[in-house]
Structure 1
Amino acid sequence: MDPVERVVVGIDGSEYSTLALQTAATLAKALALRLDVVSCWSRSDIYFAAEIPVGGFPEADVLEVEATRLVEDAVERAFGPERPPGLVDVSIRYGHPGKILVDESASARLLVVGRRGRGGFLGLRLGSVSSACVAHAHCPVLVVNEPD
């Protein structure tokens, strides 16, 4: 698949993803590329795969609404009430963030992620999603660290 003239940024509502969003917007504008924001949600870890009820699980709607709220809050934190020009698409996707972002990278000029997100261990230098993106993305990846 040929790359689309876009920058993809993965966000999860963490401070690092807010910085990634701001950085991605700056780069997209400077490079005259579209900015696509992707956030992911997945089933609650309270279910084992064998325990998911047929037809889904009751928390699915709640989790998707929460993911949407986190994205809107992150966009508001990053830019205030005005979305930057070129911010074409904000999508909420179901599935593992590493896989989804790697898939999205196949049709992007650049993938931007934060150093680490909300999960895992606080002492990690690079989170699991960022590591997966760096290792498997189909385009260049920028991992955004703290502003200092």
Structure 2
Amino acid sequence: MATSAQRGKIIVGVDGSAASVEALRQAQRLAVPLGANVEAWACWDFPAGFGAYEAMGVEGFAHEAAESLQLAVAAVFGPHLPRNVHTKLVRGTPRPTLIGASNQASMLVVGRRGHGGFGALLLGSVSTACVAYAHCPVLVVTAPEPARNQEPRPAHASAGIPKTTPEGARSQ
């Protein structure tokens, strides 16, 4: 449970996906009327099996995560970051890192990317773990649907039905 000193912080997991960009946008929408701060966290770690080469440098992995974070922040806020928004680059895998961070937050916001065989039906592994184990409320945000060019629908159900003549022939 968040203490009184921690109530004004919303932590957002940002990985550069459309869902995480929307999660950042929604976190700010919630934070403004509440007077809360938003921390956009980008988590990074070495890939499995990288251990032997870890001493060679972390710049590539950390740089990629930092770049994704900055692009997401720019997509939501443009060139001017609001005063209540802060970014944080954190070494660690997203699940345990964000769950641990939830101890310091009044809310955790994550995106749902929907990858995998049942992506449209199930939450992703990170969002599922956060919902199950976070120490504060969790908001899971999906990416906005792309705009579709739809044919205009008739205002009345019968408006789109062609008229027929008494003989059964259609008229225009």
Superposition TM-score tier, normalisation by shorter sequence: 0.7 to 0.9
Which residue is 1:67 aligned to?
65
For residues 59-109 of structure 1, the C-alpha deviation after alignment (integer angstroms, 9 at most, x for no partner) is 52110011101100010111111212311x311111110111111111111
**CA distance, structure 2, for counterparts of residue 82 and residue 91 of structure 1:** 17
| 1:5-84 alignment, distance < 5 Å | 5-45=8-48, 47=49, 52-53=51-52, 56-58=54-56, 60-84=58-82
How far, CA to CA, are the matches of 1:15 and 1:97 in structure 2?
17
CA contact (8 A) 1:116 1:129 kept: no
Q: Does 1:134 align with 2:137?
A: no
Match among 121, 132, 145 for residue 116 of structure 2? 121
Question: Matches of 1:58 and 1:141 in 2, distance apart?
Answer: 37
Q: Which amino acid aligns with 1:137?
A: A
Higher-Rg structure is: 2
Residue 129 of structure 2 aligns to a residue whose secondary structure is helix
Higher RCO structure, 1 or 2 (CA under 8 Å, sep 6+): 1
Contiguous gaps of at least 5 residues in structure 2: 146-172
Comparing 3-12 with 96-105, greater Cα deviation is found at 3-12
SS of 2:69's equivalent in the other structure is helix
State percent identity of aligned pairs.
Answer: 38
Aligned counterparts of 1:53 and 1:63: Cα–Cα separation in 2: 15
> Structure 1 length as normaliser, TM-score?
0.85
Q: CA RMSD in A?
A: 2.0
Whether the aligned pair in 2 keeps the contact of 1:116 and 1:130 (CA below 8 Å) is no
- Runs in 1 of length 4+ with deviation above 6 angstroms? none
Which consecutive residues of structure 1, in runs of 5 or more, have no partner in the other structure?
A: none
